[in-house]
Amino acid sequence: MGARILDGRRVRDEILAELKPRVAALSAERRVPGLAVVLVGHNPASEIYVRSKVKACEELGIYSEQVTPGDNVTTGELLGIVEGLNQRPEIDGILIQTPLPRHVDSRAVLNSVRPDKDVDGFHPYNVGNLVAGAPGFRACTPAGIMELLRRYEIPIAGRHAVVVGRSDIVGKPMALLLLHQNATVTICHSRTPDLAAECRRADILVAAVGRPALIRADFIQPGATVIDVGMNRLDTAEAVEAVFGAGSPKLAALAKNGSVLIGDVHPVEVAERAGAYTPVPGGVGPLTIAMLMSNTVRAAECRLGVRARQTAC
């Protein structure tokens, strides 16, 4: 029996279906939830992500608005834009699409979003609530992974979880969320000696380091649950063949699209060794936008005084 595939698209669809009646109730009783996205310049990858977020809003009946200053926008101008959105009562969530241009003080801009509109979960106030286990917005990708584990009934309490990567967006919040569910957590990074040995101890292995196919078979404990957060692209035939083998159908995909999407985990070896794993694409990616929608609806419920019917704000 092969490894079980953890289908992020299925979980995304479940989450969005559960949100629809909540959006409908808000629309009937108060107003539709509102999400503003600040997209600076013309980064093709960021533009793709924003289009996906806008599409999800449209499908749920959430009002969405894009603010698109040019590449030469200053930190001060961005802070002014964010403050304007902070003051608008019909905007429940504000998302700053990163990366921002190098000359912009990204931390200052992200921290200028009001905590009750910080649907990305990046503000120090919400990070502090995460550390304390208090209610607050959680970073969307780690929160989506927790939903995936819950809905697939993957045991967490008492298990050993290893998180490879220590970013503020994924690695650190992921470790804290697992810790709050009573996992024993190890965080690994670029200076961890004998990374493979650390990973082999994991019942749950989360790879979020940004290096294609870094996690090989000898990193994976047989039967482990492997969560692949990586989104990398291979753009040469040699690189594709090194992972998928000569004559792989992925070569045709490379010729058609110019690149092949791959995670941080070797896609062939994980399927042979893990007990369950998330594919790339179709695993973690769809969950990030689903949790952004969930955070936006929650923000609207809190601001409009109906959240008590759900859970604490």
Q: Which residues are catalytic?
A: 53, 97, 120
> Among all chains, which residue has been given the structure tokens 């995460």?
130
User: Which pair of structure tokens corresponds to residue 306?
Assistant: 């109906």
Q: Helix and strand tally (H, E) in the chain?
A: 12, 11
- Which stretches of 232-297 are assigned E, i.e. beta strand? 232-234, 260-262, 276-277
Q: State CA 27 to chain mean position distance.
A: 27
Say whether 42 sits in a helix, a strand or coil: coil
Closest residue by Cα to residue 18 from 63, 50, 60, 53: 60
CA 163 to CA 201: how far, in whole Å? Answer: 11
SS (H, E, C) 175-220: HHHHHHCCCEEEEECCCCCCHHHHHHCCCEEEECCCCCCCECHHHC
